[in-house]
Amino acid sequence: MIPVRGYEGKRVAVLGLGRSGLAAAKALEAGGAEALCWDDGAEARERAEGQGLILHDLTRRDAFDDLAALIASPGIPHLYPETNRHIARAYEAGVPVDNDIGLFFRSFATPDWDEFETTPKVVAITGSNGKSTTSALIYHILSEAGRPTQLAGNIGRGVLDLDPAHDSEVVVLELSSYQTDLARALTPDIAVFTNLSPDHLDRHAGIGGYFAAKRRLFAEGGPDRAVIGVDEPEGLFLAGQLSEGPGDDRVIRVSVDRKLAGPGWHVFARKGFLSEYRKGRQVASIDLRPMKGLPGSHNHQNACAAFAACRALGLAPRQIEAALASFAGLPHRSQLVGEKGGVTFVNDSKATNVDSAAAALQAFERIRWIAGGLGKDGGIAALAPHLGHVAKAYLIGHSAREFALQLGDTPHEICETMERAVASAASEAEPGETVLLAPAAASFDQYADFEARGDDFTRLVRALTA
């Protein structure tokens, strides 16, 4: 646990008692604060009370008297589409509002660090797609290289559940826009921006607000190094804002669209080869094509970002290459779950929108595509340019018939259930083909979450391939 610093002897309210809220309350108490907890859900309040935490009814008239701060869980809206009523009262009372990410950055460094030979560092990763894989890749590379490391944030553990830092340790944080938008302190040593595509637009009042939330990671604390994906206009803009000139190697530009040129520090992938250039000269190259845990250009972008971050930490290219080759992939993200008779089965249940599904559809040559669920606005119409590799689609869930109408000439079958889709795709697949779950839809019509959907696919595949 990271004891929260700066609130000794003060009363701090915690709103939202899920994983991050409970961890924040305990970390505040460990740092000497009085944590006063509230959740509008009775079950969450009972769980917190059962863990010995103090409840504090924020609906009371005097609830915000003498509070030093209100710590809100990331899922609670603090501005758009409508400010949560408790947060609105905090604003009116002049009570500062923060989240667990802000508490972490104000508390992680301690006087003990003066005794360390090598100062611990924090690498923080944000973006629309690929941030989980990039975070896991960086953590994996560091672990394989023997560097002490911990993984937390939007993946793995809550940030305040981390252990206090060791000498030379690197903490890797995946941060969502919900987390970066509210945090009052954001001071990573290395910050990574993967890419940007429309998501969570209601929460941020449009794409501009969404980008602004992610930009805070770079603008608020001024990281020593920034790794920026420049394949979208927002990334180019961000790199330009942070750089003092073409040769400024504090900004490492990353691309999978084109070769990057100039005197600066660049990492890019073309035709499956990762290249690193510094001062106009190539200094490293890695063949990503044989790496089964990193299929497709979207994963090559993740590999470039992870490579750049680890190079900024001082790792050698050959160390990074060996770790990339041993990376098995994250569950539900282009995860290889089985092979039989020359047919490969891949679980990309996390592909819940058309952008991530498009990346998955471009990663394999010939695909038996399982798609569907609770469709989002526009369905899968935007995927029309990416259906060339699809031999046949097998449609499940609430939006199966809607998706069928948007497939044009692509052969398809309405299966409704995962069991029927897997059985049909497996029976028709030929050697060299990939049975790919990339739903392009939410899971809530049939499953509790995308993990449960991916687990069901994996279970069915392993029963077939055993």
Residue 402: C-alpha distances to residues 293, 309, 372, 398 (Å): 32, 42, 9, 9
133 is in an annotated binding site: yes
131 is in an annotated binding site: yes
How far is 248 from 456, CA to CA, in rounded Å?
48
127 is in an annotated binding site: yes
Q: Which residues contact 290 (CB under 8 A, 6 or more apart)?
A: 325
129 is in an annotated binding site: yes
Q: Which residues pair with 228 in a beta bridge?
A: 193, 253
297 is in an annotated binding site: no
Taking each helix axis as running N to C, give the angle between helix 317-326 and helix 131-144, from 0 to 180 degrees, rounded to the nearest 10: 120
Residue ranges for the known binding site are 127-133
Q: Show binding-site residues for ATP.
A: 127-133
